[in-house]
A = this chain, B = another copy of it.
Amino acid sequence: MSESLFLRACRREPVARTPVWMMRQAGRYLPEYQQIRAKADFLTICRTPELAAEVTLQPVRRFGFDAAIIFSDILIPLEALGFPIAFVNDRPTITEPVGSASDVPEAIPDDFEAGLQFVYQAIGLVCNELPSHVPLIGFAGAPFTLGSYLIEGGGSRTYAKTKTFFYECPEAAHRLLGLLADAVAVHLGAQIRAGAQAVQLFDSWAGALAEDEYRVWALPYVRRIMEALGPTGVPRILYTLNGAHLTDSLIETGADVLSIDWRVPMDRACDRLLPHVAIQGNLDPTRLLGGCNRAMQEVTTILDMVNGRPGHIMNLGHGVLPSTPVENVEALVRAVHAHRRALDSSTGSQRSDEESCHVGIV
């Protein structure tokens, strides 16, 4: 059992039980994270390898998750591209946003990777500590999401500035997105060399686009990153919030795993996606805000819909919320572990891990 359940599921191979981790599993809902945050602000934790490594490991230690994800932020590489970031009213902000074509950098700075060494160092520290069956996931933001941050200067509900820039300066917009794709590929490649055994691309805002626009402003750049990383055996996960209407295009990105939200029921998602890619998701994080029993029931419902088909990684459809009770996260993990036993006992036998996956479980 030393091989990673998570990596096997990413490859759609049978697993003894469903692997589980959570987006933002290292974060504010955890008291041990809050203790570190009381002494260091968010960006300081990101930039200090020892602190980033420590908070990365916290949730793995507490819950026994099947994967760790390096503690960082999708905006961190933007600094190394020459765009300072700051937290204003607790929101990430680009202090000098892209307002015209001349604000788009000509090239990735020579010191781009050097400026991100703290991420790679943190990855090295984490990999030294993790058990061999728990891989570390590296990550980055996808070009559309990063580009919209750069143009809006922060989060947006409407993407009005982004779309205005795209329409008024299409050449510069495509140059920006291409530059971001190349920078992200460099950053993810460096994370893999530092020890990351999987990578996840967060396209958190692409769900705002209709599919025809997704195919112009997002898909080509996601594909460029996937191709740059190549099918090297390191699973490439693509997360798209609110991307149900983009399914056909998401499959075309070349991702090995699609991380999806709760807007598509898991049984339908499996039917549609599993022939092409593995699936990660898709519990609505607000469903962890009730009691433990609700949390366990919600997880069981999703696992029942997957119905033992290989290629599912249990996760949320978006990051865990700061107000989530820790005991509900414990319940989530317990429900995933219990589901395997329920499947075992429903077939009335003690089978090896491998066997239990090959049997058609109903």
Give the shortest distance, in Å, between A187 (CB) and chain B (any CB).
26
* A167 adjacent to B284 (CB under 8 Å): no
A158 interface contact, C-beta 8 A: yes
Give the shortest distance, in Å, between A85 (CB) and chain B (any CB).
19
Bound form: Cα–Cα A244–B263 in Å = 9
A233 interface contact, C-beta 8 A: no
A211 interface contact, C-beta 8 A: yes
Chain B hits for A191, CB < 8 A: none
* Residues of A in contact, count (CB < 8 Å): 31
A40 interface contact, C-beta 8 A: no
Interface string of A147-178 (1 = CB under 8 A from B): 00000000000111011100110000000000
Partner of A160, one of B158, B159, B323: B323
Chain B hits for A211, CB < 8 A: 265
Bound form: Cα–Cα A327–B321 in Å = 43
* A323 adjacent to B164 (CB under 8 Å): yes
A167-B290, A294-B167 known; A160+B321 contact, CB < 8 A: yes
A289 interface contact, C-beta 8 A: yes
* B159 adjacent to A286 (CB under 8 Å): yes
Most buried by B among A262, A263, A323: A263
* A286 adjacent to B323 (CB under 8 Å): no
Give the shortest distance, in Å, between A282 (CB) and chain B (any CB).
9
Give the shortest distance, in Å, between A247 (CB) and chain B (any CB).
11
Partner of A265, one of B210, B291, B322: B210
A235 interface contact, C-beta 8 A: no
* A286 adjacent to B158 (CB under 8 Å): yes
Chain B hits for A167, CB < 8 A: 289-291, 294
Partner of A245, one of B158, B213, B263, B294: B263
* B168 adjacent to A290 (CB under 8 Å): yes
Interface string of A5-25 (1 = CB under 8 A from B): 000000000000000000000
* B163 adjacent to A286 (CB under 8 Å): yes
Instruction: Give the residues from 232 to 268 in chain A that come closer than 8 angstroms, CB to CB, to chain B.
Output: 242, 244-245, 262-265
Chain B hits for A286, CB < 8 A: 158-160, 162-164
* A321 adjacent to B284 (CB under 8 Å): no
Output the nearest chain B residue to A282 by Cβ-Cβ distance: B210
